[in-house]
Structure 1
Amino acid sequence: MLEKYSVRTDLALEEKERFESDNVEISGVVLEEEYDKEREIRITRVKVETENGAKTMGKPVGVYLTMEAPNMAVPDEDYHREVSVKLSGYIQELIEGRSLDTDDLSVLVVGLGNRQVTPDALGPYVADNLCVTRHIVKEYGKYAMGMEHARLVSAIVPGVMGQTGMETLEIVKGVVEETKPDLVIAIDALAARNTRRLNRTIQIADTGIHPGSGVGNHRNGLTKESVGVPVIGIGVPTVVDAATIANDTMENLIDALESSDILKGVGDVLRTYNSAEKYELVKELISPHLNGMFVTPKDEDELVKQISYTISEALNMLFTNKEEG
């Protein structure tokens, strides 16, 4: 049953949690956690070290770093600045892990998604707020930026296939071949397994990114193998599927049944189902009408703008030493 069990999530952390909840140990996968108590930020590193671990997790070999900050959904500029500073440091950590020289680095930032669809507009919004410098350095030299080391930052918003008729990979690969960056950073909206992670979690991975995978719309991935240069993926979960919400409701129902003297037996029976069986039961109950439905918070438009600014500010800090006032 477990092999067929596939909860819709793009977060490596949630894949690891799924196996832990079923008491399944994954060899070749290491989990490291740290917690910033003052800022209430939890950082989790999932390191997929072997091909066996990659196959089990359904994620390529690499490092997946997840920042969870419950207050990220609150419009507090000071707090978001602190998140940006931390995020900037973690992106640099992954860049250095790829043995790239961060002093004179050429970076192409790819804002994936469709700006006409609010939950999918994260990537384009990040690109809008970036401080791009490639054209200035190319025209006037690095000293025009007022710094000893000039990092060339360029950005592109390739749109989606429905708008362009082209695969995102085709567009990005053509730009990479022409502009020859050292690194691609791709930003995209993700799907989560847990509703409490929506717009409160940022995942950074040194394995690239697969546009559209969160909503089951599988497109060719942006990876080092496909693009030709290292790719770091940055994603924020903005949607959950209907089965996930129904599954969470079922868990609450089981808890309620177990506390009832009359219906305790029903709760006990449902509790014998493992996570995979519960999820499959929920999918059967809600199909076919709600099976392909994805849900997003009602204030998603504001949340996406807010968190996109947090990410773009982190990139501006890292690559141009510039903080937006």
Structure 2
Amino acid sequence: MNELLRFLNLRVDLAVEARDLIRGATGQEVPGVEETVEQMEYIKINTINILNEIGAQQMGRPIGTYVTIQSPPLKINDPYVKDEIITAMEKKLPLLFQNMLKPGDTVLLVGLGNWRATADALGPKFIEYSPITRHYHQEAPQALVEGMRPVCGIAPGVLGITGIETFEIIKGVVDRIKPALVIAVDALAAQNVERIGTTIQMSNTGIQPGAGIGNMRHSLTYEGLGVPVIAIGCPTIVNAGIIADQAIRKFCLHSGAMYNETRAVDAIKEVLSFFGGGLGVTPTEIDEIIENASRILAMGVAKSLFPGISEEQLELYAT
């Protein structure tokens, strides 16, 4: 798998997948990494803590905490699953905030991605369904429910649409409004088809837009923006080469044939050479996945930022 990822120029977006790849290759736990697992009625929560530089080098991502919520497909729009995910986000996100937020602090929500491409529209849709309150604090504070903090949101688009690097837009906004925290939501790339529409990852280490599909942009991190960055994402796409490799492995397993990684990768390279390896696949029901996932993420973030305020009240402030 590592050889295939190098050929496809892909970075593993999900920490649980990176851990599985490393652990599968060595047969041992990853040094410098701790994991806890919580099983709820409908979902499973994996919390991975990268403790030191050894763990960071092994995992290929910064020191910090990565919370992964795994659930039945979000496309089903099951209200019980939805409620449990929102409750889990409400509980886990403050642990990622740590002591970053005081009650009156401003939070900037960033919806990364291309609103013209359905599979990449998770971030902009998240902004659409998120409660936005900063302008009320300035213009009509009497219209706010008691206890609501100033929250603003932006969907900066992508370089191909705006001609401006996403980082430059967000940095300009951050410098102007000076939020205490940035929460960035983006569509992720999975390395397993079973992750599409079933997984949510949250971390306190920032985000590198486009990394999962080999199109790396400037990282959104504390070091770059000057404020803490919480990253949230859901896989919506998988590279065709990954699907082909999984199919070959399944065939070998069921037929008794010997899997040869070098030959498998060579065959995949030959088939995908016309696209330079850059062929992404997303399910036909991606519209429903994006719609449901964006609503769940928006409410999960909102409940963590506005504790004690009902979902019905929060929905009134959505854009």
TM-score higher than 0.5: yes
User: How far is the alpha carbon of 1:282 from its aligned partner?
Assistant: 5.0
User: How far is the alpha carbon of 1:90 from its aligned partner?
Assistant: 1.3
2:88 equivalent to 1:90: no
Q: In the TM superposition, what are the counterparts of 1:127-276 in structure 2 within 5 Å?
A: 127-141=127-141, 144-147=143-146, 149-258=147-256, 267=257, 269-270=258-259, 273=260
2:296 equivalent to 1:310: yes
Give 1:113's aligned residue. Answer: 113
Instruction: Call closer, same or farther: CA 1:78–1:212 in 2, change over 3 Å.
Output: same
Give 1:18's aligned residue. Answer: 21
8 Å contact from structure 2 (residues 75, 288) kept in 1: no
Per-residue Cα deviation, 1:54-82 (whole angstroms, up to 9, x for no partner): 12211111111100002423122342122
The CA distance in 2 between the partners of 1:182 and 1:193, in whole Å, is: 33
8 Å contact from structure 2 (residues 186, 233) kept in 1: yes
Give 1:70's aligned residue. Answer: 72
The CA distance in 2 between the partners of 1:84 and 1:298, in whole Å, is: 25
Instruction: Call closer, same or farther: CA 1:54–1:277 in 2, change over 3 Å.
Output: farther
8 Å contact from structure 2 (residues 109, 182) kept in 1: yes
Q: Secondary structure at the match of 2:197?
A: coil
Query: Larger radius of gyration, structure 1 or 2?
Result: 1
Give the alignment's TM-score, normalised by structure 2.
Answer: 0.90
Any stretches of 5+ residues in structure 2 without a counterpart?
none
Give 2:271's aligned residue. Answer: 286
8 Å contact from structure 2 (residues 201, 232) kept in 1: yes
20-29 vs 115-124, greater mean Cα deviation: 20-29
Q: Which of residues 281, 285, 296 in structure 2 aligns to 1:299?
A: 285
Instruction: Call closer, same or farther: CA 1:199–1:279 in 2, change over 3 Å.
Output: farther
Q: Secondary structure at the match of 2:274?
A: coil
User: How far is the alpha carbon of 1:229 from its aligned partner?
Assistant: 0.2
The CA distance in 2 between the partners of 1:286 and 1:30, in whole Å, is: 39
The CA distance in 2 between the partners of 1:185 and 1:278, in whole Å, is: 42
The CA distance in 2 between the partners of 1:277 and 1:207, in whole Å, is: 34
The CA distance in 2 between the partners of 1:104 and 1:279, in whole Å, is: 56
279-288 vs 243-252, greater mean Cα deviation: 279-288
AA aligned opposite 1:21: G
Instruction: Call closer, same or farther: CA 1:66–1:102 in 2, change over 3 Å.
Output: farther
Q: Secondary structure at the match of 1:63?
A: strand
AA aligned opposite 2:129: N
8 Å contact from structure 1 (residues 243, 282) kept in 2: no
Instruction: Call closer, same or farther: CA 1:277–1:35 in 2, change over 3 Å.
Output: farther
User: How far is the alpha carbon of 1:205 from its aligned partner?
Assistant: 0.6
8 Å contact from structure 1 (residues 316, 322) kept in 2: no
The CA distance in 2 between the partners of 1:232 and 1:12, in whole Å, is: 15
Any stretches of 5+ residues in structure 1 without a counterpart?
259-266
Per-residue Cα deviation, 1:233-252 (whole angstroms, up to 9, x for no partner): 00000000011100110111
Q: How much identity, in percent, do the aligned residues show?
A: 36
AA aligned opposite 2:273: P
Q: For this pair of structures, how many residues does the alignment match?
A: 306
Instruction: Call closer, same or farther: CA 1:212–1:22 in 2, change over 3 Å.
Output: same
User: How far is the alpha carbon of 1:34 from its aligned partner?
Assistant: 1.5
8 Å contact from structure 1 (residues 113, 123) kept in 2: yes
AA aligned opposite 1:46: I
8 Å contact from structure 2 (residues 167, 219) kept in 1: yes
The CA distance in 1 between the partners of 2:26 and 2:122, in whole Å, is: 35
Instruction: Call closer, same or farther: CA 1:184–1:278 in 2, change over 3 Å.
Output: farther
Q: In the TM superposition, what are the counterparts of 1:10-49 in structure 2 within 5 Å?
A: 10-25=13-28, 26-36=30-40, 38-39=41-42, 41-49=43-51
Instruction: Call closer, same or farther: CA 1:287–1:4 in 2, change over 3 Å.
Output: closer
Give the alignment's TM-score, normalised by structure 1.
Answer: 0.88
Q: Secondary structure at the match of 2:156?
A: coil
User: How far is the alpha carbon of 1:102 from its aligned partner?
Assistant: 4.7
82-91 vs 112-121, greater mean Cα deviation: 82-91
Q: Which of residues 55, 58, 62 in structure 1 aligns to 2:57?
A: 55
Per-residue Cα deviation, 1:80-130 (whole angstroms, up to 9, x for no partner): 12211211221122112xx22353331100000001000000000000011
The CA distance in 1 between the partners of 2:286 and 2:164, in whole Å, is: 28
User: How far is the alpha carbon of 1:2 from its aligned partner?
Assistant: 5.8
User: How far is the alpha carbon of 1:280 from its aligned partner?
Assistant: 3.4
The CA distance in 1 between the partners of 2:285 and 2:74, in whole Å, is: 13
